[in-house]
Chain A
């Protein structure tokens, strides 16, 4: 009940804050939407990596499936709106269609997640990491060879449906679903699989079901994030969903702390804003030259951050703080 009121609160807050967000076509608006999309991606990966303990390195693959499926549908069936038209003039009908396309993208990604989840039954740890990475590459290769999806050229011309309300509304739902699921008595199975698979199995938990379920739900939301991304950029390209993108999402989960919903969201915000901030810093004249140079090469900072974090605080910034640790009998 408390969780539901939080969700309601989140919706009200999003609705109210929609009045103060910057103009639709501004640079800051795009960063803001980017934050929302990354929050969805990081939260959904957190379900797989953080709560269920299945190290997946192919989240961008699910995102790609969602992005392409949603784009394909919206291009195929709902292109009555002139691409150059005022984005504020999108009809309710088109908005509904967009939602259907997003949902279809999510479902397609979820089905692929099912496909990826099945090998996870026999593999663990490093092997699973490399197989999910492999799936990411395979998905990319298939798209690169699929002529209806634009192959190497990418797919463009979608209407810019993605806006503040859609992105953050879906982000709120994603967080709600993941947190409620993990905190429910049913969802404790995820944590049990992570903490000790053998013990969980001995206690009669169907570990197979939980692992596959984590992949399907995680992939579903990654697919939705992909659809949002596609309708924000209005162009998708297979290379946008490569191994590097997957690593980005993994870094968000790790920085925030695996299995910490709030930490992961925080990390998603930081890691979306940080590169933009550094880009700004690298053009700031008042800064010494060498600092500008460092800011320019933000990927180096990014990787150093990861190494230092692992050496000093491997549980992530917020790890171990908000993970569910209620004792039996406690209220």
Chain B
């Protein structure tokens, strides 16, 4: 039982990362109805932004601390937001009128470009991420630790804290601001939204900025726990985050979080109790099973195609 709870904690912290990246996929899908295949690579760029920013920040603040982590997080989020908007402006916005498939293929091209460009610019070898905060086991309160033998690291706690904060912020932006209302309007009906005076292009760029910033945050959160970053780190994680988004019902924010957490827990349970070699396959197997039973995902609403 204790082991199960331990696996659950590990799974949820992995799932929180998936959820952060999945939100980017799902938001872009919401406004543009296409899979931004390059999103996983934006996550990778976030990790690298942190890698290059961290030494300067460490020098400024004099040693690892939570303050340093917060600054690095913000730097990576800002960098990714800019990258996301640039990608959207350069590659996706000229293709608004084209079939969705064209945009999808362009996204694959952007993804390949970032992966291979990353290998050229950063080098293909894994680079160790500087220690910006201490990632160690927390002493759980005595009364708690006496009965159970759980391990919780500060890294995991940071993942939970940052994810929760970002989710609340995102919820506030989407549900309680004028920008958020415009986002929902564009997602609901782009033509009608633009007739009501919404600047669709700006809203789409804003959506890309939000989603990419979340991916950037995920990049830092992963890098703190992993010892190293490399240009291809976003490929598998990005794909699985996308699976999480589809699992929850793509286009649905709560669905992305649910899908991410579910996938993280499932994967960790598979490693803990099943066969770890099937770790990558299980995500996709679950995806196929869910889609066969409910093609719109767990929380997705079906859109009837009009003739």
Contacts and interface: CB of A to CB of B under 8 A. Distances in A.
Interface of A: 55, 119, 122-123, 125-127, 129-131, 133-135, 137-138, 140-142, 144-145, 198-199, 243, 247, 250, 254, 297, 299-300, 302-304, 306-307, 310-311, 314
B247 to A, nearest CB: 10
B105 A131 contact: no
Contact of A310 (B95, B246, B277, B281): B95
A119 B106 contact: no
B206 interface: no
A306 B112 contact: yes
Nearest to B110: A307
A250 B108 contact: yes
A300 B284 contact: no
Instruction: Name B's interface SS.
Output: helix
A24 B292 CA distance: 48
A311 B280 contact: no
A297 B120 contact: yes
Given A138-B281, A141-B281, A314 B95 contact: yes
Given A119-B292, A137-B281, A138-B284, A129 B104 contact: yes
A123 B291 contact: yes
B284 A135 contact: yes
A122 B29 CA distance: 19
A232 to B, nearest CB: 25
Nearest to A57: B108
B291 to A, nearest CB: 6
B243 A250 contact: no
Contact of A130 (B100, B108, B119, B242): B242
A55 B103 CA distance: 13
A126 B100 contact: yes
Given A123-B291, A130-B243, A144-B277, A310 B109 contact: yes
B95 A303 contact: no
A2 B303 CA distance: 46
A306 B305 contact: no
Interface string B207-250: 00000000000000000000000000001000100110010001
Nearest to B296: A127
Instruction: Name A's interface SS.
Output: helix
Task: Please name the 8 residue pairs, one residue from A and one from B, whose CB atoms are nearest each other, closest first.
Answer: A134-B284, A141-B281, A306-B109, A303-B112, A303-B113, A299-B116, A307-B109, A310-B106
B288 to A, nearest CB: 6
B101 to A, nearest CB: 6
A122 B297 CA distance: 12
B246 A55 contact: no
User: Interface residue tally of chain B, by bracket?
Assistant: 35 or more
B292 A122 contact: yes
Nearest to A308: B109
Given A137-B284, A138-B281, A311 B91 contact: yes
Contacts of A304: 109, 113
A11 B2 CA distance: 69
B102 interface: yes
Interface in B246-265: 246, 250
Nearest to B284: A134
Contacts of A300: 113, 116-117, 120
B141 interface: no
Given A130-B35, A310-B102, A247 B295 contact: no
Contacts of A140: 281
B68 to A, nearest CB: 34
Nearest to B111: A303
13 contacts: A119-B292, A123-B291, A126-B34, A130-B35, A131-B288, A137-B281, A141-B278, A199-B307, A297-B120, A306-B106, A306-B112, A310-B105, A311-B91
A299 B295 contact: no
B104 A126 contact: yes
- Which of A119, A141, A243, A254 has the most chain B CB atoms inside 10 A of its CB? A141
B275 interface: yes
Nearest to A122: B295
Given A130-B246, A135-B288, A137-B284, A198 B305 contact: yes
B287 interface: yes
- Which of B29, B110, B112, B117 has the most chain A CB atoms inside 10 A of its CB? B112
Given A131-B291, A138-B285, A138-B288, 17 more contacts: A119-B288, A122-B291, A126-B250, A127-B295, A134-B287, A137-B239, A144-B277, A199-B307, A300-B116, A303-B117, A304-B109, A304-B113, A306-B105, A307-B91, A307-B109, A307-B110, A311-B94
B142 interface: no
Interface in B65-114: 91, 94-95, 98-106, 108-113
